[in-house]
Amino acid sequence: MNTMTTLFGGLAAVLVLYAIGGLFRGLPPLLRALLAGMIPLVTYFLVIMGSWPGLDVVAIHISVFLAAGFVLHAMSQFRQRGAEPMHWAPKMLIGFFIGLVFLNATLLYVSTKGLPEPLARWWLGSDGRAVYTGFSGVVSHGQNAAKAVSSELSETHRESLLGWQVSVSGLEGTGLARLVEVRVKDRTGLPVDRVEAELRLMRPGAHTPVLTLPLDSAESGVYTGSLSLPASGRWLLDVQLKRDGDRQYHSIREVNAS
């Protein structure tokens, strides 16, 4: 489920639950606000089971839902005091939490979608090409990092000895749907048959692909498939070629969609 949908949908649920809690006269105001914030939060945890979006995204949901319940509680308490004007300190506190909600929403949008292109061009500069500013996370550095680098270098050496010439077309443009074509030739320029070709799509910094697409053999040495990106932003496409179950070639290419 889209993060913006869960964020603003949960915020709307907080407002509705807080209004419903007002129908129960015996319900303490603080408990009413706590339930209004916690019920959407628990529901969100159930929704993301099996598809963890990242600690930063979860933290934003926690702060927004609980802050919304607190702001509603503070506003209702001051309304019950009649015409007595609200002190400037509570006003600043309420304004802080409202601003926090919009700031978190803005940062979440920028991190997944990137800055609007005109703003990105003005802020970052451009040489005429499109500017993509989406960022989905960081690259972890574990104790097996050195082994992974060594394995990657060994595989690159094997690929250079094999001498396959691989070209990929269909990644141009900014749409979500692409018809991808992979052409494979040996070092003499002849088509390579009996290749199991597949595409693995992932976000930068991610460890597991969100989509794996096997390619069909269209003709000798040509493998095609229809790629549909799940969302806009910056993606990495891992092109993998296998023969007899062993991976013979792989390369990672960047794909952008708006």
Which range in 56-60, 114-118, 211-215 is most confidently predicted, on average pLDDT? 211-215
In a domain, 128, yes or no: no
**Of 113, 129, 151, which residue sits at a domain end?**
113
In a domain, 158, yes or no: no
Give whole-number Cα distances, 188 to 159, 168, 191, 192, 220, in Å. Answer: 15, 19, 9, 10, 15
The CB density around residue 145, as the number of other CB atoms within 10 Å, is 11
Are 133 and 114 within 8 A, CB to CB? yes
Q: Per-residue pLDDT for 72 more than 60?
A: yes
In a domain, 11, yes or no: yes
In total, how many domains does the chain have?
2
- Least confident range from 28-42, 96-110, 111-125, 146-160: namely 146-160
Q: Per-residue pLDDT for 146 more than 70?
A: no
Reported as a pLDDT band with limits 50, 70 and 90, residue 127 is low
Report pLDDT for 251. 86
The answer for 206, left when phi > 0, alpha when psi is -120 to 50, beta otherwise, is: beta
Regarding whether 170 and 104 lie in a shared domain, the answer is: no
Task: Tell me the CA end-to-end span of the chain in Å, nearest whole number.
Answer: 18
Report pLDDT for 217. 92
Type of residue found at 229: L
Report pLDDT for 131. 66
- Domain span at residue 67 reads 3-113
Q: Per-residue pLDDT for 141 more than 50?
A: no
Q: What is the CATH number of the domain that holds 188?
A: 2.60.40.1930
C-alpha Rg value of the chain to the nearest Å: 26
Question: And the tokens for 29?
Answer: 């105001």
For residue range 219-232, what is the model confidence (pLDDT) as tens digits?
999 999 999 998 88
In a domain, 127, yes or no: no
Q: Which of 224, 223, 221 is nearest to 189 (CA)?
A: 221
Report pLDDT for 6. 85
For residue range 150-202, what is the model confidence (pLDDT) as tens digits?
555 566 666 677 788 889 999 888 788 889 999 999 888 899 998 999 999 99
Reported as a pLDDT band with limits 50, 70 and 90, residue 130 is low
Q: What is the mean pLDDT of residues 13-18?
A: 90
More confident site: 128 or 256? 256
In a domain, 13, yes or no: yes
